[in-house]
Amino acid sequence: MTNQAGIRLAVIDTDSSFLTVLGKRLEGAGWEHRVLAGSVPIDELVAMKLNALLVDISVLGPEGWEFLERVCGAIPGLGVLVCTSQSTVAQRVRGLRLGADDWIGKPSHPEEVMARIEAVVRRRKRATAREDVGPLVSAELEIRPDQYQAFVSGQSIGLTRREFELLQLLAEAHGQVIEREQIYQKVWGYAMAHGDRSVDVFVRKLRQKLQRHSANWRYIHTHFGIGYRFDPEQVGTVVEPELRVVEEQLAEAEALSEESVAVDLRSR
């Protein structure tokens, strides 16, 4: 649900022809990838936040096995595939038992390599599924994916599913302008029909609920002709507590409020 398309991949190999051919395909598919020349400390691998690691165990020499074992043990969420030429059954079995998810012979068609990586990542995603998403806090807002809900000072602001997904998408992009088409594509899951106003309508509902619970912040900004941007901004003077209640009550009556501040492109 989060990152739909691309896979983050690191390749440990030195076989330049294999690397160029594979690299081209990876580019084409839009995967983020980087090439490593040899063994790398575990914590650096962790920091890369990879989905998968493709390694030619022969470039690591004898310590390759130990490396493989440590990596598989230390990063449970990482898919590990060995891709190497000339291997025996015993080696392959050893690699797989040590924690590798697949063992591919060389030469192999890059398309198959990618399909195998996909298969490994797919399986792993299913297993890891939950728990990976912590709450996201921004200004007075707390967005909790595990509750499908956003909170202001511990209180739910009563978002529906779509509203929440929209807010989450915008908040994750924090500061970036997202085009309507992209928003629709990601939240609704399919292409936006020409003239569809759903995104606008949902932005309005979101703004209403945000405003109602967090009155002196503006969270969503309009970029004319493009889309929307999430970026909390404190607005106006600090309001006295008593007045606050009144303001909330009147919030709806204010038909012509300045809340919809359209922001010029240059402003960011």
- Binding residues (CB under 8 A) for a second copy: these are 76-77, 79, 89, 92-93, 96-97, 99-103, 109, 111-112, 115-116, 118-120, 122-124, 126-128, 146-149, 151, 154-156, 158, 160-161, 176-177, 205, 208-209, 212, 223-226, 229, 245-246, 248-255, 257-260, 263, 265-267
Amino acid at 234: Q
CB of 13 to a second copy, least distance (A): 20
- Using the rule CB under 7 A, which residue among 225, 237, 241, 249 binds DNA? 225
Binding mask 227-246 for DNA (x = CB under 7 A): x-------------------
d(C-alpha 61, C-alpha 102), whole Å: 19
CA distance linking residue 207 with residue 195, whole number of Å: 21
Half-sphere exposure (CA, 13 Å, Cβ side) for 123? Answer: 12
Neighbours of 119 (CB within 10 A): 14
Q: Which stretch binds DNA (CB under 7 A): 55-63, 144-152, 167-175, 219-227?
A: 219-227
Provide the Cα torsion 22, 60, 121, 17; round to 10°: 0
Choose among a second copy, DNA, none what residue 33 binds, the Cβ cut-off being 5 to 8 Å by kind: none
Q: Does 53 bind DNA (CB under 7 A)?
A: no
Binding part of the chain for DNA, among 58-66, 124-132, 191-199, 241-249 by CB under 7 A, reads: 191-199
Q: How far apart are CA 146 and CA 2, in angstroms?
A: 13
Q: Structure tokens of 119?
A: 């298969």
CB neighbourhood size of 153 (10 A): 9
Minimum distance of DNA from residue 261's CB (angstroms): 4
Per-residue x/- marks for DNA, 145-184, CB under 7 A? Answer: ---------------xxxx----------------x----
Residue closer to DNA (CB basis): 22 or 199:
199
Phi and psi at residue 202, in whole multiples of 5°?
Answer: -70, -35
Size, binding site for DNA by CB under 7 A: 32
How far from chain centre, in Å, is Cα 13? 27
Q: Out of a second copy, DNA, none, which partner does residue 191 contact, by CB within 5 to 8 A per kind?
A: none
Please state at what angle helix 198-213 crosses helix 180-188, rounded to 10 degrees.
Answer: 80
Question: What's the min distance (Å) between Cβ of 251 and a second copy?
Answer: 8
Alpha-carbon distance of 145 to 164, in angstroms, equals 9
